[in-house]
C-alpha cells in the first residue's frame, strides 16, 4: 500500500527483511494512526516480543514476521553440525510460536520452512531459510490479491459493508484479506461505503482499518461496536466481510477477533450475508473442534485503560474503568459454520462445511 509520509508517497509492505543487518523491519502499528514509524528487531527474541506486544499483528503479518524471525535465528547459528543446527532451530521455532497462540499462520509458515530446510550443509539451510521466508511473504501478497479479485464481485455500487477489527494491509504483508475485495471494487470504480467497528479493547478498527481506508480514499464511518445491530435493524448494512486468524478445515469454524461471533449472530438474524476472507495459510487442517483452539487472553489493562493522543500530540494511557474492578480480556472468539454465508479464498468462495471436501484445491498437505 502507498503511504504518504513526510510529504512523500511510498509503497510499503507491513514487514520485510534487511539481509545486510539480519533484522526484521516492521511498521509500528501501535502508534497508528497518529504516527507512522518503522522499527527494527535485531534478533529472533526481539522479533517474537514484537509479535507478542502487537508491534505487528494480523494473521498474515505475524505469519511473515515469524517466518523472517526463524530465518533470522538460522543466520546467527555458529557451527557446521546439522543436528546441533536443528536443535537451535527448534528453540527458535518454539520462541516464535509461543508469542501469540491463537493465530495459525505463524505455525503453518514455520512448519513449512522447517520441512523444506533440507540442505546437506548448515550454510545451505541458512540460505534456504531466507528464501522460504521471502516466499511465504510473497505468497501472502498473492493470496490477498486473489481474495480481492474473487471477493469484489460481492460489492456493487451502493453496497454498505460492515467489517470488524483490521484484516487489511496492516494485518498482512500487503493488500489485506477483508479489505481486499474493497480495494478491488474501488479499482473498478464502484462506489460503496464501509462501516468500521471500533473493535475494543485495542480499537484496531477505529485506528487501523479506518486509517487504511482513508489512505485509499474509500468512503467509511467508524461506529461503536454495539451500533452494528441497530444499523442492521434499520436496513443500513448490506454485507459483512471479516478476516480470520484460524479457520478449521475439518469443521468450517472460524476464529477471529473477539466480537466476530456477535456480528455473525446479528447478520443471521437480519438475513445479511456474512463472509470470511482467508489466505490458504490461515487454514488449520489438524484440529477437529473449535473448542480445541487456544484462545489468547491478554492483559486486563487493555480493557481497564486506553491509549490515545492529546490535542498537543502527546501519546498517553488513561484509566477508563472503576479502579478497584478486575477485567477479562479474551482476544478471539469462534464463529460456527452455520452462521457463515461463505469463505472467500484465493481459489474461490466455499461453503464453510465444504472446506474438507475441497481440501486438495485449498492446499491441504497431509504431511504438515
User: Residues with Cβ < 8 Å from 73, sequence gap 6 or more?
Assistant: 43, 44, 88, 89, 91, 92, 95, 96
User: Residues with Cβ < 8 Å from 78, sequence gap 6 or more?
Assistant: none
Tell me if the bond preceding 143 is cis, omega within 30° of 0: no
> Length of the chain, please?
368
User: Are 75 and 89 spatial neighbours (Cβ–Cβ below 8 Å)?
Assistant: no
- Sort strands 239-242 and 160-163 into parallel, antiparallel or unpaired: parallel
Among the listed residues 320, 316, 314, 274, the one whose alpha carbon sits nearest the alpha carbon of residue 300? 320
C-alpha distances out from residue 314 to 34, 91, 308, 311, Å: 10, 39, 8, 7
Annotated catalytic residue: which of 139, 238, 245, 284? 245
User: Are 55 and 28 spatial neighbours (Cβ–Cβ below 8 Å)?
Assistant: yes
DSSP tag of 221: E
Q: How far is CA 175 from the centre of its chain?
A: 11
- Sort strands 8-11 and 254-257 into parallel, antiparallel or unpaired: unpaired
| Helices vs strands, H then E, count in the chain | 11, 18
CA quadruple 100, 102, 106, 111: dihedral sign: positive
Among the listed residues 288, 289, 243, the one whose alpha carbon sits nearest the alpha carbon of residue 264? 243
245 classed as catalytic:
yes
User: Are 199 and 257 spatial neighbours (Cβ–Cβ below 8 Å)?
Assistant: yes
Q: Could you list the active site residues?
A: 245
Amino acid at each position: 500500500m502507498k503511504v504518504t509520509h513526510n510529504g512523500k508517497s511510498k509503497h510499503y509492505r507491513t514487514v520485510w527483511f534487511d539481509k545486510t543487518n539480519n533484522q526484521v523491519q516492521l511498521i509500528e502499528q501501535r502508534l497508528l494512526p497518529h504516527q507512522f514509524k518503522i522499527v527494527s528487531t535485531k534478533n529472533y527474541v526481539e522479533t517474537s516480543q514484537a509479535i507478542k506486544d502487537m508491534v505487528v499483528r494480523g494473521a498474515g503479518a505475524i505469519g511473515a514476521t515469524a517466518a523472517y524471525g526463524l530465518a533470522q535465528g538460522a543466520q546467527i547459528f555458529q557451527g557446521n553440525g546439522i543436528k546441533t543446527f536443528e536443535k537451535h532451530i527448534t528453540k527458535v521455532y518454539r520462541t516464535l510460536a509461543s508469542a501469540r497462540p491463537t493465530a495459525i499462520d505463524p505455525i503453518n509458515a514455520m512448519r513449512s520452512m522447517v520441512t523444506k530446510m533440507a540442505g546437506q550443509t548448515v550454510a545451505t539451510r541458512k540460505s534456504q531459510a531466507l528464501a522460504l521466508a521471502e516466499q511465504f511473504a510473497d505468497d501472502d501478497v498473492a493470496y490477498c490479491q486473489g481474495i480481492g479479485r474473487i471477493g469484489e464481485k460481492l460489492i456493487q455500487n451502493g453496497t454498505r459493508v460492515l467489517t470488524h477489527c483490521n484484516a487489511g494491509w496492516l494485518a498482512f504483508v500487503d493488500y489485506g484479506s477483508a479489505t481486499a475485495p474493497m480495494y478491488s471494487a474501488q479499482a473498478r470504480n464502484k462506489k460503496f461505503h464501509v462501516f468500521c467497528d471500533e473493535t475494543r479493547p485495542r480499537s484496531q478498527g477505529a485506528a487501523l482499518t479506518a486509517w487504511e481506508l482513508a489512505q485509499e480514499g474509500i468512503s467509511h464511518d467508524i461506529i461503536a461496536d454495539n451500533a452494528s445491530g441497530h444499523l442492521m435493524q434499520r436496513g443500513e448494512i448490506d454485507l459483512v466481510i471479516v478476516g480470520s486468524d484460524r479457520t478449521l478445515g475439518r469443521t468450517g469454524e472460524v476464529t477471529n477477533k473477539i466480537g466476530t461471533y456477535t456480528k455473525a449472530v446479528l447478520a443471521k438474524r437480519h438475513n445479511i450475508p456474512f463472509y470470511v476472507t482467508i489466505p490458504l495459510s490461515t487454514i488449520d487442517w489438524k484440529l477437529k473442534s473449535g473448542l480445541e483452539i487456544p484462545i489468547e487472553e491478554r492483559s486486563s489493562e487493555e480493557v481497564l485503560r486506553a491509549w490515545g493522543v492529546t490535542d498537543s500530540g502527546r501519546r498517553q494511557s488513561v484509566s477508563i474503568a472503576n479502579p478497584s474492578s478486575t477485567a477479562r480480556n479474551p482476544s478471539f472468539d469462534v464463529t460456527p459454520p452455520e452462521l457463515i454465508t461463505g469463505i472467500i479464498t484465493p481459489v474461490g468462495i466455499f461453503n464453510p462445511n465444504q472446506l474438507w471436501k475441497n481440501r486438495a484445491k485449498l492446499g491441504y498437505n497431509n504431511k504438515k
